[in-house]
């Protein structure tokens, strides 16, 4: 595999026939921030359509050693294709091309004017309307893929989900806190035994982009775009719920003086999810994932960087 970076990407795209010689001369590449498991670069083509190239890496960029097979990029491609079919246009980027030898694919670029929702939350902006729409989107994804035997076969392997979620989140904490090991091992076993629908595995504020100026009944509102699907699989929807809610509750702790606003936002998400026609099989299972994910984000391999020990 040729590891790509902004210095060699344009030449690679030209040599592989993805850019014409005329476009290659005037195009540029830049690394996009935010991820720990892949290299993501935006290719700017003056007078043309910008696009994003995503290439997987075997070693993740974390303080503790963390490895995962680069083949996981193909799972992300497959999940992206499924989401393109089960979500409204514009909710996920459209895939453009792939290169199997170099473990990469390309997709359309999101407008530069977008805002990462995580940034809004860290700034103390609790928006129930956005949370409500996200609850509806996630419920629709779960509901429209429920009991789909074809997807169960296509996305049934959970190796990447285990490598990037169960092991660094749940097993890592279980090794550090022996008194929690039985409960965490039970949660892992229940999760692996559940195969209900498409589960994103990384439904997180950092992977939710707000693109300005979509006109709706409530006036101008941002278009919501979801990205990053390498942990997607056919499994336990309660994980998506617990994982997502853990992010919102951790932001609530950060902004304790505005806790009521953040809790209202969380209620808006939960009400919308439950009211969109799909119920989690067991609410207690969702709560268990919520608790385990929160613990993992303060005592796991991938800890949050915005909370102090006092919090």
The residue assigned the tokens 């344009």 is: 10
Strand partners, 221: 214
Stretch(es) of the chain classified as CATH 3.90.1200.10: 115-299
- The tens place of each residue's pLDDT in the chain, 311 residues long, gives 788 889 999 999 999 999 999 999 999 999 987 556 688 999 999 988 999 999 987 765 544 455 567 788 999 999 999 999 999 999 999 999 999 999 999 999 999 999 999 999 999 999 999 999 999 999 999 999 998 999 999 999 999 899 889 999 999 999 999 999 999 999 999 999 999 999 999 999 999 999 997 544 445 789 999 999 989 999 999 999 999 999 999 999 999 999 999 999 999 999 999 987 666 667 889 999 999 999 999 877 777 777 666 55
CATH H-level superfamily of 115-299: Aminoglycoside phosphotransferase (APH), C-terminal lobe (3.90.1200.10)
Res 277: pLDDT? 67
β-bridge pairing 115-116 and 104-108: unpaired
DSSP 8-state assignment for residue 70: T
Cα separation, 92 vs 280, in Å, equals: 24
The topology under which CATH files domain 9-108 is Phosphorylase Kinase; domain 1 (3.30.200)
pTM as predicted: 0.89
Cα separation, 44 vs 31, in Å, equals: 11
Res 250: pLDDT? 94
């Amino acid at each position: 595999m040729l590891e790509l970076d902004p210095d060699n990407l344009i030449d690679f795209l030209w040599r592989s026939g993805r850019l014409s010689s005329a476009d290659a001369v005037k195009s540029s590449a830049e690394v996009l921030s935010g991820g720990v498991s892949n290299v993501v670069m935006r290719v700017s083509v003056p007078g043309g359509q910008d696009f994003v190239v995503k290439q997987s890496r075997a070693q993740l960029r974390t303080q503790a050693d963390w490895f995962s097979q680069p083949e996981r990029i193909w799972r992300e491609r497959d999940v992206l294709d499924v989401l393109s079919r089960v979500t409204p246009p514009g909710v996920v980027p459209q895939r453009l091309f792939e290169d199997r030898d170099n473990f990469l694919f390309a997709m359309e670029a999101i407008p530069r004017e977008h805002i990462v929702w995580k940034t809004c939350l860290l700034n103390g902006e609790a928006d129930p309307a956005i949370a409500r729409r996200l609850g509806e989107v996630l419920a629709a994804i779960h509901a429209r893929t429920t009991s789909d035997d074809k997807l169960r076969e296509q996305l049934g392997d959970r190796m990447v989900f285990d490598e990037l979620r169960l092991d660094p989140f749940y097993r890592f904490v279980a090794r550090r806190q022996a008194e929690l090991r039985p409960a965490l091992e039970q949660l892992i076993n229940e999760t692996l035994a559940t195969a209900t629908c498409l589960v994103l595995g990384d439904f997180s504020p950092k992977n939710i982009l707000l693109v300005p100026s979509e006109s709706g009944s409530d006036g101008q509102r941002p278009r919501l775009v979801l990205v990053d699907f390498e942990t997607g699989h056919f499994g336990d929807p309660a994980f998506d719920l617990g994982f997502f809610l853990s992010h919102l509750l951790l932001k609530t702790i950060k902004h304790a003086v505005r806790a009521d606003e953040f809790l209202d936002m969380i209620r808006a998400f939960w009400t919308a999810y439950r009211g969109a026609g799909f119920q989690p099989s067991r609410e207690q299972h969702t709560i268990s994932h919520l608790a385990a994910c929160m613990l993992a984000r303060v005592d796991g391999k991938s800890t949050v960087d915005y909370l102090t020990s006092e919090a």
